[in-house]
Amino acid sequence: MEIGFIGTGVMGSGMITNLLKAGYQVNIYNRTKSKAQSLIADGAIWQASPQAVAEASQIIFTIVGYPSDVEMTYFGEQGIFAATMTDKIVVDMTTSTPTLAKKIADAAVKQGAQALDAPVSGGDIGAKNATLTIMVGGDAATFQQVLPIFEKIGKKIVLQGAAGSGQHTKMANQIMVAGTMLGLSEMLVYAKAANLDLEATLQVVGGGAAANWSLDNYGPRILREDYSPGFFIKHFIKDLKIALTEAKALNLNLPMTELAEKLYAELAAEGYENSGTQALIQRWWQAE
């Protein structure tokens, strides 16, 4: 089976590498070809456009930056849906909007294809180690067809419901992550002000009721002053804006999520938009 994969960034590159290791032939495309060179060297096949990837593949995965990028990737002049799509499956793993996920699913069916929305959680570490959590929306039979491939890149894979349900689940995930990142940052700020050993504090806090993924994975990076992106701040802001828009449509008030979006937006305005989400600590520490 030939797989297509569009998007070779921090997340996509890890997933593609694991698919190549699993023996799949993978056709790839990225707007900047130079960012895909290492994957090409490992055996991935470069294609000139999303349309070309779709023509050469039976199942096409996408993970790009923003909903506008998803829109162009699928509906652009040389987009996926410009290809002959009969009996093919598209899987958008970008964190995008439920509305766009439904639009893609409807367009796929009209062309004799099927679609899943399948955003992921786990960051660059999860992509590299094939331990991603994959939240899926779409048809159950289509999900079963793609499941063996999902299992090569993820550990927890759940069909949440109809088209758009995967994206709604990712919004719930990002709302929770926003809270844990705020908590992690304020915990370290407090511990440092109290002259505690920060490494010891991470170990103790991580062994009790406050244990969480962000603490385990981003806490050590913060102590090393490593703000490289496992997940870009600019993309997290995008996610939080989507979550707040969806919350408004559901008549919900999410003050913690609003605060997180505000703090990250301020940090991005100061030049940290391409840093990892753990750089939130700089809201307190950069002035030292």
Annotated catalytic sites, by residue? 170
Residues 17 and 140 both lie in one domain: yes
Contacts of 136 (CB under 8 A, 6+ apart): 116, 117, 118, 143, 150, 157, 158, 159, 160, 165, 166
Residues 194 and 281 both lie in one domain: yes
Residues 9 and 140 both lie in one domain: yes
pLDDT of residue 261: 98
CA distance 258 to 161: 27
Report the pLDDT averaged over residues 174-203.
Answer: 97
Of 202, 206, 210, whose CA–CA distance to 281 is shortest?
202
CA distance 34 to 279: 27
Residue 9: pLDDT above 70? yes
Report the pLDDT averaged over residues 29-38.
Answer: 95
Residues 156 and 182 both lie in one domain: no
pLDDT of residue 288: 58
pLDDT band at 86 (very low <50, low <70, confident <90, very high): very high
Q: How far is CA 111 from CA 49, 52, 91, 108, 208, in A?
A: 19, 16, 15, 5, 52
Report the pLDDT averaged over residues 198-221.
Answer: 96
Residues 137 and 58 both lie in one domain: yes
CA angle 107, 14, 9 (to 5 degrees): 65
Residues 39 and 103 both lie in one domain: yes
pLDDT band at 89 (very low <50, low <70, confident <90, very high): very high
Residue 93: pLDDT above 60? yes
pLDDT of residue 287: 57
CATH for 186: 1.10.1040.10
Domain edge (last residue) among 161, 178, 210: 161
pTM: 0.93
Report the pLDDT averaged over residues 113-134.
Answer: 96
Residues 216 and 152 both lie in one domain: no
Domain edge (last residue) among 161, 177, 205: 161
Report the pLDDT averaged over residues 212-217.
Answer: 94
pLDDT of residue 286: 80
Q: Which domain holds residue 97?
A: 2-161
pLDDT band at 81 (very low <50, low <70, confident <90, very high): very high
Report the pLDDT averaged over residues 258-287.
Answer: 95
Of 217, 241, 227, 221, whose CA–CA distance to 271 is shortest?
227
What average pLDDT does the chain have?
Answer: 96
